[in-house]
Structure 1
Amino acid sequence: MRVRHSGGQPLHLSYCTNVHPAEDLPGILAQLDVYALPIRERLGADLLGLGLWLAAPAAAALAADRTARRRLRAELDARGLEVVTLNGFPYRAFQAPVVKYDVYHPDWTTPDRLRYTLDLARVLVDLLPDDAARGSISTLPLAWRDPWRPDQREAAARMLDRLASGLGEIEGRTGRTIRVGFEPEPGCIVETTGQAAELLSAVDTDRLGVCLDLAHLACAWEEPADALRPLADAGLPVVKVQVSAALEVADPVAAEPVLRQYAEPRFLHQTRSAAGPSADDLDLALAGDLPGPWRVHFHVPLHVAPAPPLSSTTAVIEGVLRDLMSADEPWCDHLDVETYTWDVLPADRRPAGPAELADGIAGELAWTRDLLSRVAEARS
């Protein structure tokens, strides 16, 4: 979908398809009919944006086959779907039974991560709508924090230089600009926006910047206005905003029975206390003595509140989107709803099948669209 900024500029609003498990082109095409088209119809939208996730093998195959890229573009166009952004964080097997720390590999010290990201860029230039100003790709924040030796820092710096050079070559050949955003996340080398401003200060800011995931921002207990300032001071563009909400709990001891329903084996759920202490997973937090309140890296649906006494961090989303819409010009025009955890929600909140999942994603997109519209109307 496209939403108008209060200044009149178009914003691209999409949902991220990493919630779906398909990792080859036939499976990706099947998703369009099973999920994307019904979501567009439920929203009554002429056009629906997808934040497409392509596993590394699918990205490599598409990058090497122009006919396949044209076929994918034609299938998107035929269904009223568009792609301006790709999620390049998970490399493959993101909906495997156990993901946890595997999602951070390969990291930005490796040629594999560079190759994957440039494959995504080569695919994206052929999927971009003709009137899109640019494309974006989100990626992991360099690496998990441990280990991080001096030789790894140097290797990552070399890879980022090669990434910027490769993106420049693609732009020179196609005339289309693709930017890559590094996504601060709890437990990683780049965990906060302040760390992003410090550790990414030497990158080519014409092509590299930050992907601001709002659940991660909340888990770091960053205030939206304060978080954006160091990025602006460093000249780091926000190339993409992932509209996501984390779990919040004021009293973890009282909420323990409900919290345990969210401690599941697939994804890592970093838990952060407002007082500073942290745990790398919700299981570890529940077994320890972390003082409350907590925020938990578990992406929960935007439009439905968790069961009491839990809540979610939608106030952080509202703060960031108000800042975005109240600026004279938008500081980011790619917004991607990223709730990939539908299938591991507590049983009574989990979609029963594809139709209910499509309903849930449509509800999140409607919630986000309506929030953006309200803020724009209030400013005008």
Structure 2
Amino acid sequence: MHLSYCTNVHPAEDLDGVIRQLDAYAGPARVAAGLDVLGVGLWLPAPLAARLAAEPDALGRLRAALERNGLEVRTLNAFPHEAFHAEVVKLDVYRPDWTDPARLEFTVDAARVLAALLPPGAEGSISTLPLGWRVGWDDAKDRAATDALAALGAELRAIRAETGRVIRLAVEPEPGCVLDDVDDVVAWLASHRDRLDLDHLGVCLDTCHLAVSFADPAAAVAGIADAGIRVVKVQASAALHVERPGDADARRAVEAYAEDRYLHQVREHASAGVIRVDDLPEALDDLPAAAPWRVHFHVPLHLEPEAPLSSTTDVLRAALAAVREVQPVDQLHVDVETYTWSVLPGGPVDLVDGIAAELRWAQAELLERQEQPA
């Protein structure tokens, strides 16, 4: 398995900014984590991806910055299109969706950039949104999205033929979207098997989203494998767990995580089924709070929230173990995706120290421990 950290934690929108952030954060975090080489799951806003795909000199500047910092790229995050650190993001992160030609254009640009950056012999992955937000989705939009993903498959085959580079798209289920959970993604891909190239298209298993859905990790991964689909990428992330959301202390603690930039979908695991709301303030107002909650808030892997809250790193460990059981993992990309450092309760943190500590945790808990014989 190949470990990286996702650079969507950084707000840069242009090449100079991305290079500055590699120099200021990624390189120093590699050193602080004690790693000879650090993988970075690059987030490239759409205008920058287009520039890098079209301008060899610009791509050369990025490659040089990666090399001098001891960094390598095997995966890109092409879920946010741009402005991921705007004052308010919320539903904008799902735009443009897969019915908009801009989404296909962005993803093709990202694939061409990745093909040029991959280490020799490495395969690449690109994570993307699960079609779009569910509201207003209909059969016509589904057909348009299918057409776009079929066209992307043709582009990825062409890149493979031209460059010898294998790049796969990883569809990332997310609460509230058209493809809300792993079962939704598996069913959708399987039902469109006649149109889609499943050799170049698979699943991005975001383990925060998996935990929020209250899915059993082993069963979810088995369902992917049983359908003949591959886990292309794992986004190593943890959700916020609230065991007793009706308790006053728990409510005060979780209220601190309600913030204005990102959407924090919440699920309550009631006896009659999972109750779903689209953001934390709505949960605090409307959910019964009679059963455990999971909150879509990517909490740092190594920082267990203070009681009575907890995180779902157990789901992350179980999901990775399940993937190892059903497919080879020598080309599996494990991308630590904690983009919420700037909105964590308690104010600013030293980002280099935080990223390095999280990487050390991931190296020990996800790679070294998983590789030990039973």
Aligned residue type for 1:168? R
Q: How far apart are residue 351 of structure 1 and its match?
A: 3.3
3-state SS of 1:156 partner: helix
CA distance in 1, matches of 2:325, 2:21: 35
Give the Cα separation in 2 of the matches to 1:12 and 1:166. 25
- Please state how far the C-alpha of 1:320 moved relative to its aligned partner: 1.5
Give runs of aligned pairs for residues 130-279 of structure 1, distance below 5 A.
130-132=120-122, 134-201=123-190, 202=193, 203-254=196-247, 255-275=250-270, 276-279=274-277
Structure 2, gaps ≥5 residues long: none
TM-score (norm 2): 0.94
> What does residue range 95-134 of structure 1 map to in structure 2 within 5 Å?
95-132=85-122, 134=123
Residue number among 287, 290, 295 corresponding to 1:289 in the alignment: 287
Residues 2 and 330 of structure 2 are in contact (CA less than 8 Å); yes or no, is this contact kept in structure 1? no
Structure 1 residue 322: deviation in Å? Answer: 2.4
Residue deviations 1:324-373 (CA, integer Å, cap 9, x gap): 445673286100000000100102xx434xxx111111111111110120
For residue 297 of structure 1, report the CA deviation from its aligned partner. 0.1
Q: Equivalences for 1:316-331 in 2 at 5 Å?
A: 316-325=315-324, 329-330=328-329
Q: 1:97 to 1:237 in 2, by over 3 A?
A: same
Counterpart CA distance in 2 for 1:250 and 1:332 is 36
Residues 326 and 376, structure 1, Cα contact 8 Å, conserved in 2:
no
Match of 2:8 among 18, 35, 46: 18
Q: Residue 246 and residue 65 in structure 1: after superposition, are their counterparts in 2 closer, same or farther (change >3 A)?
A: same
Tell me how far apart the structure 2 counterparts of residues 79 and 269 of structure 1 sit (CA, whole Å). Answer: 34
Find the counterpart in structure 2 of residue 307 from structure 1: 306
| Matches of 2:159 and 2:114, distance apart in 1 | 11
CA distance in 1, matches of 2:310, 2:35: 30
* Aligned with 1:57 (options 43, 47, 59): 47
Report what 1:364 is aligned to: 358
Q: Is the 8 A contact 1:240 1:332 kept in 2?
A: no
Structure 2: which amino acid aligns with 1:289?
A: L
Q: Quickly say closer, same or farther: Cα 1:357–1:198, change in 2 above 3 A.
A: same
CA-to-aligned-CA distance 1:143-178 (integer Å, 9 cap, x gap): 111111111011011101101011111111111111
**Deviations 1:181-216, CA, capped at 9 Å, x for gaps:** 000010011111111111111221110111000000
Task: Give the direction of change, closer, same or farther, for the CA distance of 1:113–1:171 in structure 2 (3 Å limit).
Answer: same
Residue aligning to 1:7: none
SS in 1 for 2:93: helix
- The number of aligned residues is 363
Tell me how far apart the structure 2 counterparts of residues 332 and 280 of structure 1 sit (CA, whole Å): 34
Q: Contact conserved, 2:44 with 2:78, CA < 8 A, in 1?
A: yes
> Could you tell me whether the CA contact under 8 Å between 1:325 and 1:376 is conserved in 2?
no
Letter in 2 for 1:239: V
Aligned to 1:377: 372
Task: Give the corresponding residue for 2:79.
Answer: 89
Shift of 1:378: 3.3
The 8 Å contact of residues 324 and 331 in structure 1, kept in 2 or not, is answered as no
Matched-pair contact (CA < 8 Å) for 1:238–1:332: no
The alignment's C-alpha RMSD in Å is: 1.3
Measure, in 1, the Cα distance between the counterparts of 2:12 and 2:118.
21
Aligned to 2:295, the other structure's residue is in SS state: strand
Structure 1 length normalisation: TM-score?
Answer: 0.93
Decide whether the 8 Å contact of 2:125 with 2:169 is kept in 1. Answer: yes
What residue ranges of structure 1 are gaps of 5+ in the alignment?
1-10
Task: Name the amino acid aligned to 1:74.
Answer: A
